[in-house]
Every structure is written in structure tokens, then in C-alpha cells.
Amino acid sequence: MIASAISDLLIVVALATGNAEWTGWLVTFSSSLILVLLGLISGNPSAAGVATVDQAAEAAPPPPETSEEDLEVMNALEAFLKRDPLHLDPNLTLSRLARRMHVPEKRLSTAVNRATGANVSRYINRWRIRHACQRSEDGATVTDARLESGFNTKSNFNREFLRETAMSPSRWKRESGSGSNVANLSEAGRGQ
């Protein structure tokens, strides 16, 4: 902006001194100079005051610690879901869950984020996958286990199942004859 102001000032001076023919050259020169300066700044992010990814990671504050209040909310949530398996409802929303627990939505969401590092949707899906695994080990078909666990779409179920168990639902079903898969999933802290 300073370079643009200087070029405007030079053009005014050229016109005032009767050298109107210089204006074309001044516009060309100043535009070229501004483009070169912009190119230099954009090539060096730190010169423009833009942090690189590494600098941003170093400057980012650490995630907030899980507070006692967060742990209380998480314990209440776990007890609630064990008592009232609302997670099996495919139409469950954060708003409805918070209302049923008598906890503000923001408070519930914050507690889950801090305590698990996941959002509420992913946390609920962990419970659903744990339920689907148990149903599968009990002999239900993969489709029945999916539907009974609150998943409406096969693609979402398969994606979440793979994320939580590191295997497909059909592979889980094949390998569940030993009955130890759900125990291993729980021990890994997946369903919490």
C-alpha cells in the first residue's frame, strides 16, 4: 500500500510539473515493483506474518486438561448409556442426549471432547460398534447387528467399524467364534 501511495504521489508530481508523458512509465514501473514485492512476500510466509505449519504447531496451546467436572459428566454419560441405551436410536442427537441427561449441550460436548479426544458423534458410534460386535458374536447377521446398533447406512457403519476395530464387520463375524473380540475391544478402551 505504501508503494501504491508513493506511485500515486509521483504521478501527481509529474502532472503538476507538466511532464504528463511520464505518467505511463510511472504506472508501469510502480505496478511492476508492487508485483515483485508481492511475489517476494508470498514466497516467504514468515515475511508476510504467516506461520508455517511447524510454527503453528509450536505456537498452538496444548489441549485443555480434563477437569473433574469433565470426568463427572463422562461418568454420568456412561452410567446413563448403560441404564438407557439411547445410543441404539439412529435418530439420536446431541440436543436430545443432553436433555435426557439434564446437562447443557455445550457442557456435554466439551466433556466428551476433552476426555476422549473425539466428538460426541464418534463417542456414540463407539458404543454402537461395541453393541454391534456383541450382537455379531451372539450370532446376529452383520445387517441385523448394524440395524440393531443404530446405524442407518451401511457405509457409515463400515467406516466406523473399521475405525474402531481395525477390521471389517464380516471379518469380525468370521473371527468372533472365539468370543474374545468384544473383550479385546473393551480392554483397548474403545467403548468408553
- Specify whether 81 is located in the same domain as 115: yes
| Domain around 124 | 68-187
Question: Are 136 and 108 found together in one domain?
Answer: yes
Q: Where are the beta strands (DSSP E) in 111-179?
A: none
Q: If pLDDT is split at 50, 70 and 90, which confidence band does 181 have?
A: low
Q: Rounded CA gap, 80 and 122, in Å? A: 17
| 116 or 5, which is more confident | 116
Q: How many distinct structural domains can be found in the chain?
A: 2
Q: Residue 12: its pLDDT value, please?
A: 76
Query: Both 86 and 178 in a single domain?
Result: yes
- What is the distance between the alpha carbons of residues 123 and 118, in angstroms, rounded to a whole number? 6
Q: What pLDDT was estimated at residue 167?
A: 92
Confidence of residue 21 (pLDDT cuts 50, 70, 90): confident
Rounded Cα gap, residues 172 and 166, in angstroms:
9
Are 27 and 7 a contacting pair, CB within 8 Å? yes
- The pLDDT-based confidence of 188 (bands split at 50, 70, 90) is very low
Q: Of the ranges 53-62, 85-94, 99-108, which one carries the lowest mean pLDDT score? A: 53-62
What confidence category does residue 18 fall into, taking pLDDT thresholds of 50, 70 and 90? confident
